Amino acid sequence: MTARLDLFHPDREPEAAPGRYAPSPTGRLHLGNLRTALIAWRSARDRGARFLVRIEDIDTGRSRDEWIEVQLEELRQIGVDWDGEPVRQSERHDLYREALSKLEADGLLYECFCTRAEIREAASAPHGELPEGAYPGTCRELTEAERAGRRAAGRPPALRVRAAGARVGFDDHLCGRVEKTLDDFVVRRNDGDFAYNLAVTVDDADQGIGEVLRGADLLDTTPRQLWLYDRLGLAAPARFSHVPLMLGEDGERLAKRHGAITLEERIEAGESPASVRRELFDSADR
Ligand code: GLU
């Protein structure tokens, strides 16, 4: 471990520490994404804080470089500006590797050879403490010989952390108290990609983020990240704010069938970016 991950950020108080928006370049941003970006931006600027954009392109199967500039242009059009150049997770693998080495050195990692189907099957049996759908711990106590056998059979392992049973709670700025019992979650996938929870934790800490503001669909991931902050010896952001998702008229999560859901489609339909921006702020303030 270098000292990099242990940086102390003297300006961590939420008033001064930066906010961020962290899109994954897997397509155009839809209006719900743009609304989240606007709220995060406004929250940071209201505090007089810097605002950062981070490109979350660690998922090599789904991320495409060509979406990066499209998304940045959509953010500019809707009136979000940011400080400095956006960082890209694909250029930060050394930091994620360092974090994995620390977890490994502390005996907190193990290889998991399970397929999704196996996990589904094993997870349907009752497991006391663990929540539904949680990883049942199948590979937790494999012997070295068993692991060698599975590797020889050609199964690439994912890496999981020994977190099962840990109870983590926090007070979300918008959603209130959240408590969750963790399972042994994945920090490196079996295709070699670093997992979202690992990268986002390392990056929010490294960038000294004061407020993590994102969609409420990610509310459930925060306890995992808080566990990682703790185990990695990193200071967690002062505030987590999960904004309710924007819904279509039928009350369902925004999707293509709801019509014009990207800025481009709204502009093609004759609206101006300024009027879409007003609509998004209005719907956020309601
Ligand atoms: N990259 C994630 C997404 O686009 C957001 C992650 C975050 O804000 O923590 O859904």
pLDDT truncated to tens, each residue of the chain (286 aa)?
333 333 334 444 566 899 999 999 999 999 999 999 999 999 999 999 999 999 999 999 999 999 999 999 999 999 999 999 999 999 999 999 999 999 999 999 999 999 988 888 877 766 566 677 799 999 999 999 999 999 999 989 999 999 999 999 999 999 999 999 999 999 999 999 999 999 999 999 999 999 999 999 999 999 999 999 999 999 999 999 999 998 888 888 888 888 889 999 999 999 999 999 999 999 887 6
CATH number at residue 118: 3.40.50.620
- Mutational pocket test of ligand 1: of 196, 212, 226, 241, the residue with most ligand atoms within 8 Å of the beta carbon: 196
Q: How far is the CA of 141 from the centre of ligand 1 (A)?
A: 32
Neighbours of 233 (CB within 10 A): 12
Name the closest-CA residue to atom 6, ligand 1. Answer: 22
**What is the reported pTM?**
0.92
Provide the residue range defining the domain that includes 107.
4-285
The residues near 119 (Cβ < 8 Å, ≥ 6 apart) are 135, 136, 138
Q: Judge if the beta carbon of residue 214 lies within 6 A of ligand 1.
A: yes
Q: Judge if the beta carbon of residue 23 lies within 6 A of ligand 1.
A: yes
Q: Judge if the beta carbon of residue 56 lies within 6 A of ligand 1.
A: yes
**Residue 31 in contact with residue 276, Cβ under 8 Å?**
yes
CA distances from residue 54 to 16, 72, 113, 209, 248 in whole angstroms, order as listed: 19, 10, 31, 11, 27
Q: Closest Cα to residue 60, out of 190, 161, 224, 203?
A: 190
Q: Judge if the beta carbon of residue 24 lies within 6 A of ligand 1.
A: yes
Q: Judge if the beta carbon of residue 22 lies within 6 A of ligand 1.
A: yes
The number of folded domains in the chain is 1
